[in-house]
Structure 1
Amino acid sequence: MLGRGQTGNTKLVKQMNRHLLISRLREYKRVSRADLAKLTELSRPCVSSLVDEMIREGLINEVGIGESKGGRKPILLEYNFRAKGVIGAVFEGSTLHMSIADLSGELLFNYGTRLSQPTNGETAIRALEVGVDALLKQSGFDKDRLLGIGIGLPGITQRTDGTISYAPSTGWMGLPVQQEMEERLNIPVFIDNDVNLMTIGEFHQGIGFGVRNQVHMYVGTGIGAGIIIDGQFYRGFREAAGEIGYMMIGPVGRTRRGEYGVFERNYSVSGIIEKARLILTGWNEDTSVITELMRQSEAGNRKAEQFLEDIYVHWAHGMVNMISVLDPELLIINGEMVNIGEQGIKKLNGLLAEWVPFVPPVKVAALGIKAGIIGAIQIVLEALS
């Protein structure tokens, strides 16, 4: 925090002071200029000058008269959450989901599209361009009112240099993904791992709200986890924490660099489907593979029943490993795992109780794909506040 008596680059100091004022206004809703000066420890002339500037820009509104504390009644100020917009986007398998939100993080309009396969960098960026244009048209926002876009991508994202260091499903490894997206979209871009963003979304608005120690396990095209420790998202030294797809769970075989990990190769949706095709009869692959395995198990397909049991056991192995190391107070399941229902959760809990001394509550994610979008919006707001 910069207050009186501190020096520095004038433009930088001013920008930091503006961010400080906005942060307090978002926290305290309606306050006077004098209150802001106390809350920020900035001088009253500094606060007054910045407030007047942001009123002209539409970022702050004067919303009425407050109670007098011995002098003139103060004019109350409120942050204009609709002054700017933020876009969140998440690539999930062959789909792109996007939303535009105001500065409070409220989702205003949504957009989704299926991507041609196999997806490459050009396909992905073109889909983002079309999606941004569609959201701007729906919302009535001008592009210059966008603060930025947060994008959830598969693989190990390196946020500091804007690359993806490891992503077998896309082949984007080592490429300047963020820079290329910024040049094409012409707005600030913030990238992160897709499961990380889902975890952040559930922590802020979903089933994990306020739980300070939690693990979010996602099974989709890949397998990943997001980790929150003592209220803070944990990324690890190389931002690779939670890459549980590389756990040695399932038939090991031979794995070369650049390929899926053992757990991911065998028990992600892709791995399960490959084996399910040999077991299931009359299955429409547009429906959930877990749902179909459950249905055919109940109908007497013994092989489907055995394979489903095998999946539960190996998913539970991954959970045991995380529980043993992290001792979370909540374990959230997402992706294909949401289809297991109460019966499946009961089965997982039974297995966990056999293998670890303390079993945290296992709960299904509440927000669906919105979790990743909310997380994407959150990282933009946090970066710019």
Structure 2
Amino acid sequence: MRVPKKTGSSKRVKNLNKEEVLQQVIMHGQISRADISKQTQLSRPCVSSLVDEMIQEGLLYEVGIGESKGGRKPILLEYNYQAYAIVGAIFDGSTLEMAIADLRGEFLARFSKRLAQPDNGETVIEDLAAGLERLLEKSGIARDRLLGMGVGVQGVTQRNSGTVSFSPSTGWMGSPIQQTIEARLGLPVIIDNDVNMMTLGEYVRGVGVGHSNVVYMYVGTGIGSGIILDGQFYRGCREAAGEIGFMMIGPVHNRIKRAAGVFETHYSVPGIMQQAKGLLSDLQEGSSVIIELIRRAPQDAEAQQLLVDVYRHWAYGMANIISVLNPELLILSGEMVHVDEEGVKRIHDWLTEWVPEVPRLEKASLGEQAGLIGAVHSVLEAFPSTRLLDKE
């Protein structure tokens, strides 16, 4: 395909040409200068000059000799995925998880901290800053090699404006949190809902790979979902799509301004724990309530009854999602990954009874890494390789 002729300032033209060269190397894995020239229709001297610059800048390096096509054997080029780094961070309400990754999205170092004051937004940002310093120290990456940071938070986020319009766990209600974090850390930042970040992680690296219509359902301190339709995130007009914790599933209560929705009030992990207060009084912090209910159910009728009630109400939420969105894959995550084979079959049987088309039900495969992978990938999507050239 013929590449349109570039016009404009010499610096802009040069960067556009460098971008083409970089994309060819990334696309092919390994490629010679001559083949780059053929693909881009840039002259060989131009390609050689640009490649030499990018080798000096650390973006490309020579990796060996390729096969001859009738002349001298060509020197192959490869993209340096360690040229820059990306940071991902996820707040799940009580814990901060962070990772620093290379440009493939491979983790170089990780950091985790239990948050003492999850409802204090200022403290959370300071924890984020301290975590970044720890990651830089552990990885040996210089701060000026950071491309950006993806941050997943609970609540409704507006990516374009960088605000969080509803996040009771942090107190960020209508706050321009993206700009605040950028000012504190000195880095470009992408914010999104934490479950959307988890969804993206499973979509690009987990059980969602190869599927175009996916719903990711998460049960943790709240209940939420991420929605991908025809390969694109569906966010809704105010980016509040997927807030299924507000479905009217369970006993209705009068919700005050900062309260959780009906569904998550009763059937999130804290909601289930509240229902099991007398039954599981000895449950250790951090243990799975579902695993414990499954363990006790054969000998304890009360545990069995609660377990079935939880499964049934989770299935109500799934039926509502399926009826509206008709996904090909429904990913069960968070506390739902602990549901045993018998429980998954029970849920599937209910769904078969209630809705005309039942999608595949799959448990999330990436565990706690899903959100971090998604956060890192969000930066790779938002800051394409043109930004690498702007860094120089």
The answer, yes or no, to whether TM exceeds 0.5 is yes
- Once the 2 structures are TM-superposed, how far is the Cα of residue 266 of structure 1 from its aligned partner? 1.9
The equivalent residue for 1:182 is 182
1:55 and 2:74 correspond: no
Once the 2 structures are TM-superposed, how far is the Cα of residue 50 of structure 1 from its aligned partner? Answer: 2.8
What's 1:368 paired with? 367
2:260 corresponds to: 260
Q: Which runs of 5+ in 1 are unaligned?
A: none
CA distance in 1, matches of 2:154, 2:235: 15
SS at match of 1:298: coil
Q: How does 1:29-68 map to 2 (within 5 A)?
A: 29-40=29-40, 42=42, 44=44, 46-68=46-68
Which position in structure 2 is the counterpart of 1:142? 142
Question: In structure 1, what is the Cα distance between the partners aligned to 2:256 and 2:59?
Answer: 52
Q: CA deviation at 1:141?
A: 0.8
Measured against aligned partners, the alpha-carbon deviations of 1:268-289 in whole angstroms (never above 9, x if no partner) come to: 1122222221443433343222
Asked if 1:78 corresponds to 2:82, the answer is no
SS in 1 for 2:62: strand
- 2-structure distance, mates of 1:153, 1:220: 13
Q: Aligned-pair distance for 1:189?
A: 1.2
1:379 CA displacement: 0.9
Deviations 1:162-187 (A, max 9, x none): 11112222220211111111111112
Residue 99 and residue 211 in structure 1: after superposition, are their counterparts in 2 closer, same or farther (change >3 A)? same
Secondary structure, aligned partner of 1:48: helix
Partner of residue 356, structure 2: 357
TM-score (norm 2): 0.91
Contact 1:51 1:60 (C-alpha < 8 Å) held by counterparts: yes
Task: For residue 56 of structure 1, report the CA deviation from its aligned partner.
Answer: 0.7
Amino acid at match of 1:306: Q
1:1-385 alignment, distance < 5 Å: 3-8=3-8, 11=11, 14-40=14-40, 42=42, 44=44, 46-300=46-300, 302-385=301-384
Seen in structure 2, the aligned counterparts of structure 1 residues 138 and 281 have a Cα distance that, compared at 3 Å, is: closer
Taking structure 1 as reference, are residues 16 and 115 closer, same or farther at Cα in structure 2, changes over 3 Å only?
farther
Q: Aligned with 2:250: secondary structure? A: coil
Structure 1 CA distance for aligned equivalents of residues 191 and 227 of structure 2: 17
**Aligned AA for 2:50?**
L
The 8 Å contact of residues 55 and 61 in structure 1, kept in 2 or not, is answered as yes
TM-score by structure 1 length?
0.93
The 1:141–1:282 alpha-carbon spacing in structure 2 relative to 1, beyond 3 Å, is: closer
* Cα distance change, pair 311–203 in 1 and its aligned pair in 2 (3 A): same
Superposition deviation, residue 20 in structure 1 = 4.0
Shift of 1:64: 2.3
Task: Measure the CA separation in 1 of the matches of 2:2 and 2:174.
Answer: 37
Look up the equivalent residue of 2:101 and give its one-letter code: A
Contact 2:119–2:168 (Cα < 8 Å) also in 1: no
Q: Percent identity?
A: 57
Q: Secondary structure at the match of 2:157?
A: strand
Is there any run of 5+ residues in structure 2 with no aligned partner, and where? 385-392
Give 1:295's aligned amino acid: R
Are residues 201 and 12 of structure 1, via their aligned partners in 2, closer, same or farther at CA, if it must alter by over 3 Å?
farther
Q: Distance in 2 between matches of 1:147 and 1:2?
A: 31
| CA distance in structure 1 between the partners assigned to 2:240 and 2:366 by the alignment | 24
> Which AA in structure 1 matches 2:337?
V
Q: Counterpart in 1 of 2:390? A: none
User: Per the alignment, in what secondary structure is the counterpart of residue 109 of structure 2?
Assistant: strand
| Residue type of the alignment partner of 2:308 | E
Which range is displaced more, 142-151 or 231-240? 231-240
Inter-CA distance 280–18: structure 2 relative to 1 (3 Å threshold): same
One-letter identity of the residue aligned with 1:141: I
Contact persistence 1:19–1:384 (CA under 8 A): no
State the shift of 1:95 in Å: 1.1
CA pair 71-243 structure 1, distance change in 2 beyond 3 A:
same
Report deviation, 1:352.
0.9
Does the aligned pair in 1 maintain the 2:247–2:263 contact within 8 Å?
yes
CA–CA separation in structure 2 for the residues paired with 1:353 and 1:30: 49
Distance change in 2, residues 1:75/1:283 (3 Å):
closer
Deviation at 1:299?
2.6
Separation of aligned partners in 2, 1:85 and 1:2: 33
C-alpha separation between the residues in 1 aligned to 2:54 and 2:158?
A: 34
Distance change (3 Å), C-alpha of 1:8 and 1:242: farther
Kindly indicate whether the alpha-carbon contact (under 8 Å) linking 2:67 and 2:74 is maintained by their aligned counterparts in 1: yes
State the alpha-carbon separation in 1 of the partners of residues 2 and 375 from structure 2: 28
Once residues 240 and 38 of structure 1 are traced to their aligned partners in structure 2, the CA distance between those partners, rounded to angstroms, is 46
Task: Give 2:374's aligned amino acid.
Answer: G
Contact 1:2-1:42 at 8 Å conserved across structures: no
SS in 1 for 2:350: helix
CA distance in 2, matches of 1:38, 1:324: 51
2:50 and 2:187 map into 1 onto residues whose CA distance is: 25
SS in 2 for 1:82: coil
